[in-house]
Amino acid sequence: MSAQAASAPVTGRFAPTPSGRLHLGNLLCCLLAYLSARSEGGRFLLRIEDLDVPRCPRRLSDQCIEDLRFLGFDWDEAPLYQSERTEIYQRYMNRLAELGLVYPCFCTRAQLHAAAAPNLGDREPVYSRACANLSAEEIARRMKTRSPAMRLRVPDETISFEDGLYGEISENPARDSGDTIIRRSDGLFGYQLAVVIDDALSGVTEIVRGRDILHSTPRQIFLQRTLGFDTPGYIHIPLLTDSQGRRLAKRDRDLDLTALARVMTPQQILGMLAYSCGVLPENRPTSLEELTKVFDWKNVRRDDIRLAYP
Ligand code: GLU
């Protein structure tokens, strides 16, 4: 499934944001990423996306790792923590700035909200580019009273990629996503830049993640091309809903591992997830070892996956 040469070993990864306890949607993503890599004899990496340090305390990262181990997951190398990689992100942001692709944005939350177009669905608003062409004097003047966010100038051109489940996806980042914040005004780096750098520097060749991130991919491909990185293969997976068809969220405490581990064994949880997404034909206890042997992307559903629980 990888876009790399067929002979190159696959390197997959799971990259959770530990702002709460992992829920079954996160675990399904980890499961499919793991099975896809391991069934090809590939490597599997774990990256903790704790860029937003106040929201992702170490206690939650530790819990996340414990939960993954409880289910039997293993990974190559020590997990990477994004909170420890600020200098690397800064270096690449400087490179983008040298290329004229970064500008400071002084807009307040209220200004952004007022300028946003209505009917956005679940997409982020496209930025109006109010700060895209400020003069050096104007920037210096505004810097005195407000520390800016840094935005990436995204291109007004179509970027396409072949998704492993959804086929060809095309998007014009300038029109559809808008200039993206790569460093927030409080100095914390943004997801779009960090994810591209980390996947590239870790040698990731295959990215399996939720369909909710599908629209970030063209911007990430733009960053890869600009920074001279290879583009990995992408497989976005359907969202998991509860048994009534509602999307899972971190607030659904009854579907996080604290609650589930009280009533189910790891083998039962794996079996339920594998059955829900189509990897196993029946809902029964299983192991990662067994699933790795039977795994085939052909069996994975493309429409939303209803959890076979409770
Ligand atoms: N940290 C992101 C999340 O938990 C995943 C990002 C990715 O897989 O690229 O939603």
Which residue minimizes the CA distance to atom 6 of ligand 1?
A: 15
The residues, ordered by sequence, that sit 6+ positions from 154 with a Cβ below 8 Å of its Cβ are 173, 174, 177, 178, 179, 180, 219, 222
29 CA distance to ligand 1 middle (Å): 10
Q: Which fold has domain 7-84+238-306?
A: Rossmann fold (3.40.50)
Tokens at residue 102, please?
Answer: 């970064």
Strand partners, 171: 159
> What is 87-191's CATH number?
3.90.800.10
**Which one-letter amino acid corresponds to residue 242?**
D
For residues 249 and 240, give the distance between their C-alpha atoms in angstroms, rounded to a whole number: 10
Q: Which atom from ligand 1 is nearest to the alpha carbon of 26?
A: 4
The binding-site residues of ligand 1, defined as CB within 6 angstroms of any ligand atom, are: 15-17, 49, 195, 209, 213
Laid out side by side, the sheet with 180-183 consists of 102-105, 149-152, 180-183
For a mutational test of ligand 1's pocket, the pick from 11, 14, 17, 239, i.e. the residue with the most ligand atoms closer than 8 A to its C-beta, is 17
For residues 301 and 175, give the distance between their C-alpha atoms in angstroms, rounded to a whole number: 30
Angular region, 102: left φ>0, alpha ψ -120 to 50, beta rest: beta
84 CA distance to ligand 1 middle (Å): 17
pLDDT per residue as tens, the chain (310 positions): 444 445 668 999 999 999 988 889 999 999 999 999 999 999 999 999 999 999 999 999 999 999 999 999 999 999 999 999 999 999 999 999 999 999 999 999 888 888 776 555 667 889 999 999 999 999 999 999 999 999 999 999 999 999 999 999 999 999 999 999 999 999 999 999 999 999 999 999 999 999 999 999 999 999 999 999 999 999 999 999 988 888 776 666 667 788 889 999 999 999 999 999 999 999 999 999 999 999 999 999 999 999 988 8
131 near 105, Cβ under 8 Å?
yes
Sequence spans of domains, the chain? 7-84+238-306, 87-191
15 CA distance to ligand 1 middle (Å): 5
For residues 294 and 292, give the distance between their C-alpha atoms in angstroms, rounded to a whole number: 6
274 near 35, Cβ under 8 Å?
no
For a mutational test of ligand 1's pocket, the pick from 22, 212, 213, i.e. the residue with the most ligand atoms closer than 8 A to its C-beta, is 213
